[in-house]
């Protein structure tokens, strides 16, 4: 307090002898000087003093003055200190200061909605410090009371438009802070999401992404993608706008792989950027969308080459495991229920020696106990999506398990030539494997191949399955034996799978009763 008194003496004057003003009295005298002083310099000095006090005495400080840019900036800095969502070091020594003090002051500040309008009006100021401090203040307010601030801004004339204009600011610091502000502003509010989208948000964001270098860019690219994801998630209107505006095609450069990346590996930022883009793709074809939206998005992704680009990532070397896992999930949802896309995936050949169908290579990973569990589940999900409402592919898989399998089946199951392994053989091997996860994955995959096809079920029940180590038995007998191992299988498979599906599945838990048959949760 002695330090503050000496620093404020020129502003407040000399106190009466023997009287030490409290923090509240000091703030009151400063505010009075801001309100009534006729000299600009005097008001400015008072604002500077309020800013200095606001970090330690923000309970006593809550005032805004508008005189000139410098004074406004001091006032905004003061408010930023008062509304800060995180405690300052100066407050850590005072247990009387509640952790949510910034939220409490935000609630006081927004009781008068005109305060938000005053802050929004300051966005029109071109001064760098004023504009930056205003954006940061709005971000703090949204952090503290998101729903309240969203509702207030929604009814303020040109409120969202003022923020959107800042994306065109030539000063990168302001543009970058505006991205963070818009991410918080658009989260969970469909009406604001629509306004932002129709304020040309997608064009502006893709321009920034292009300028920053697409997936090889920095964290600003990730912020742009996170904002896009906010605008599209659970918002059919914006998804339709995104689709009709040819923005799906503009995502293609995000999936370009280079030989350099394969040799030296992916940077952590590139991994984050590509992961966000994959999330956008999955949002467009999520099973919670209408059938019409999903179908049209899937067709655009195939015709524009986006599906091919995703498959190239699947077949590329040096791809990080988490990106590979998410790409497999994404490819599954892009092909699910679309015969043309399913045929494309079924005909895709992996660059192996000798070349094998990509589906077969994926199934090899699924039954390989050395592969990460999440990757194996992703392959299972992709395989189910590939078979979903695809009678030809289902028949091809089952044909490789029948005695007459030998010709005419290609793609997924593909009846194999001599010395080649087929999808059906891999599933059969997985059923007999000593790895419980392989048993479960193979059983679930085979279930997808038989679903809705009584003729295939009848034919397969007459077939005896065997390996060199096990005596021949029918599929029904094999399933009965595996059920005896359920107690040991439960903790190993079910619990991790639940964690996995919460991460990758597009269906909210509340909507699980309406899940598609190919959803991994349908297996639990």
Q: What is the CATH number of the domain that holds 356?
A: 1.25.10.10
- For residues 394 and 479, state if they share a domain: yes
What stretch of H or E contains 131? helix 128-144
- For residues 331 and 357, state if they share a domain: no
pLDDT of amino acid 304: 97
- For residues 426 and 302, state if they share a domain: no
Asked if residue 331 has pLDDT above 70, the reply is: yes
Mean pLDDT of 303-318: 94
pLDDT of amino acid 280: 98
* Within a domain: 153: no
Structure-token match 């883009």, residue found:
277
- For residues 388 and 520, state if they share a domain: yes
Asked if residue 488 has pLDDT above 80, the reply is: no
* Cα–Cα distance for residue pair 343/164, rounded to 1 Å: 43
Could you tell me which residue, 107 or 4, shows the higher pLDDT? 107
- What confidence tens digit (pLDDT) does each residue in 467-482 have? 566 677 787 787 777 6
* Cα–Cα distance for residue pair 106/149, rounded to 1 Å: 10
- For residues 377 and 462, state if they share a domain: yes
HSE-CB of 238 using CA atoms within 13 angstroms:
26
Asked if residue 521 has pLDDT above 70, the reply is: no
pLDDT of amino acid 99: 75
Asked if residue 493 has pLDDT above 50, the reply is: no
* Within a domain: 158: no
Using alpha carbons only, what angle is made at residue 518 by residues 514 and 522, rounded to the nearest 5 degrees? 60
pTM above 0.85, yes or no: no
**Cβ neighbour number for residue 86 with a 10 Å cutoff:** 9
Query: Could you say which of 310, 335, 360 is where a domain stops?
Result: 335
- For residues 445 and 508, state if they share a domain: yes
* Cα–Cα distance for residue pair 14/87, rounded to 1 Å: 32
Mean pLDDT of 47-56: 63
* Within a domain: 256: yes
Could you tell me which residue, 16 or 90, shows the higher pLDDT? 90
SS3 label, residue 387: helix
Mean pLDDT of 376-391: 96
The domain of 464 spans 352-524
Mean pLDDT of 144-152: 96
* Within a domain: 493: yes
pLDDT of amino acid 457: 87
Domain total of the chain? 2
pLDDT of amino acid 510: 40
Band the pLDDT of 358: cuts 50, 70, 90: very high
* Within a domain: 106: no
pLDDT of amino acid 21: 65
Residue 507 makes CB contacts below 8 A (sequence gap 6+) with 286, 287, 288, 514, 515, 519, 521
HSE-CB of 360 using CA atoms within 13 angstroms:
26
Residue 477 makes CB contacts below 8 A (sequence gap 6+) with none
The sign of the torsion formed by the CA atoms of 337, 452, 380, 343 equals negative
Asked if residue 418 has pLDDT above 70, the reply is: no
pLDDT of amino acid 419: 56
- For residues 383 and 252, state if they share a domain: no
What stretch of H or E contains 473? strand 473-474
Asked if residue 211 has pLDDT above 50, the reply is: yes
Selection from 388, 367, 359 nearest residue 449 by Cα: 388
* Within a domain: 98: no
Question: Which range among 169-178, 191-200, 268-277, 449-458 shows the weakest confidence by mean pLDDT?
Answer: 449-458
* Within a domain: 16: no
Asked if residue 487 has pLDDT above 60, the reply is: no
Q: Answer yes or no: are the C-beta atoms of 350 and 315 closer than 8 Å.
A: yes
User: Which structure tokens are listed for 167?
Assistant: 């994306």
Using alpha carbons only, what angle is made at residue 453 by residues 447 and 455, rounded to the nearest 5 degrees? 115
Query: Could you say which of 266, 301, 335 is where a domain stops?
Result: 335
Mean pLDDT of 361-382: 95
- What confidence tens digit (pLDDT) does each residue in 429-464 have? 888 888 889 988 998 999 999 998 888 888 888 877
Q: What percent of the chain has pLDDT over 90?
A: 52
- Per the prediction, the chain carries an average pLDDT of 81
* Cα–Cα distance for residue pair 276/416, rounded to 1 Å: 38
Q: What percent of the chain has pLDDT over 70?
A: 74
Mean pLDDT of 197-215: 96
pLDDT of amino acid 522: 37
- For residues 279 and 365, state if they share a domain: no
* Within a domain: 311: yes
Band the pLDDT of 38: cuts 50, 70, 90: low
Asked if residue 196 has pLDDT above 50, the reply is: yes
- What confidence tens digit (pLDDT) does each residue in 68-79 have? 677 778 778 888
- For residues 286 and 409, state if they share a domain: no
The sign of the torsion formed by the CA atoms of 225, 230, 233, 237 equals negative
Query: Could you say which of 335, 365, 387 is where a domain stops?
Result: 335
- For residues 244 and 385, state if they share a domain: no
Asked if residue 228 has pLDDT above 80, the reply is: yes
- For residues 289 and 388, state if they share a domain: no
- For residues 292 and 377, state if they share a domain: no
């Amino acid at each position: 307090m002695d330090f503050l008194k000496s620093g404020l003496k020129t502003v407040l004057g000399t106190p009466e002898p023997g009287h030490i003003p409290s923090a509240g009295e000091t703030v009151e005298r400063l505010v009075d000087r801001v309100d009534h002083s006729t000299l600009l310099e005097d008001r400015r000095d008072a604002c500077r003093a309020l800013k200095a006090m606001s970090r330690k005495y923000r309970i006593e400080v809550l005032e805004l003055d508008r005189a000139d840019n410098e004074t406004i900036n001091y006032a905004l800095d003061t408010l930023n200190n008062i509304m800060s969502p995180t405690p300052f070091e100066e407050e850590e020594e005072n247990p009387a200061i509640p952790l949510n003090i910034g939220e409490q002051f935000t609630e006081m500040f927004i009781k008068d909605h005109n305060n938000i309008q005053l802050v929004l009006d300051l966005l029109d100021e071109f001064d760098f410090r004023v504009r930056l401090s205003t954006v940061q203040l709005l971000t703090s307010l949204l952090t503290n009371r998101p729903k309240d601030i969203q509702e207030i801004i929604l009814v303020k004339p040109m409120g969202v438009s003022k923020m959107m204009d800042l994306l065109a600011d030539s000063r990168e610091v302001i543009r970058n802070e505006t991205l963070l502000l818009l991410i918080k502003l658009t989260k969970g509010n469909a009406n604001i999401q629509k306004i932002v989208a129709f304020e040309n948000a997608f064009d502006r964001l893709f321009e920034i992404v292009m300028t920053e270098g697409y997936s090889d860019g920095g964290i600003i690219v990730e912020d742009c993608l996170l904002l896009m994801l906010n605008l599209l998630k659970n918002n059919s209107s914006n998804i339709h706008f995104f689709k009709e505006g040819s923005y799906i095609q503009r995502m293609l450069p995000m999936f370009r792989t280079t030989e350099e990346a394969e040799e030296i590996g992916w940077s952590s930022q590139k991994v984050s950027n590509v992961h966000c883009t994959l999330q956008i793709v999955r949002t467009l074809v999520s099973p919670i969308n209408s059938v019409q939206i999903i179908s049209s998005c899937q067709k655009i992704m195939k015709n524009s080459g986006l599906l091919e680009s995703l498959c190239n990532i699947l077949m590329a070397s040096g791809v990080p495991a988490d990106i590979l896992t998410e790409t497999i999930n994404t490819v599954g949802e892009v092909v699910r229920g679309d015969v043309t896309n399913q045929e494309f995936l079924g005909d895709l050949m992996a660059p192996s020696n000798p070349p094998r169908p990509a589906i077969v290579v994926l199934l090899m990973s699924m039954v390989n106990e050395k592969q990460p569990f999440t990757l194996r589940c992703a392959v299972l999900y992709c395989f189910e999506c590939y078979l979903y409402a695809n009678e030809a592919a289902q028949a091809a898989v089952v044909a490789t398990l029948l005695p007459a399998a030998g010709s005419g089946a290609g793609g997924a199951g593909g009846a194999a030539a001599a010395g080649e392994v087929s999808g059906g053989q891999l599933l059969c091997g997985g059923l007999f494997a000593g790895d419980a996860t392989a048993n479960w994955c193979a059983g679930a995959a085979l279930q997808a191949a038989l679903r809705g096809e009584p003729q295939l079920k009848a034919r397969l029940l007459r077939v005896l399955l065997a390996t060199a180590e096990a005596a021949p038995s029918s599929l029904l007998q094999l399933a009965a034996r595996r059920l005896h191992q359920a107690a040991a299988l439960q903790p190993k498979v079910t619990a991790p799978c639940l964690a996995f599906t919460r991460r990758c599945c597009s269906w909210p838990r509340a909507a699980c009763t309406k899940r598609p048959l190919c959803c991994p949760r349908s297996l639990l």
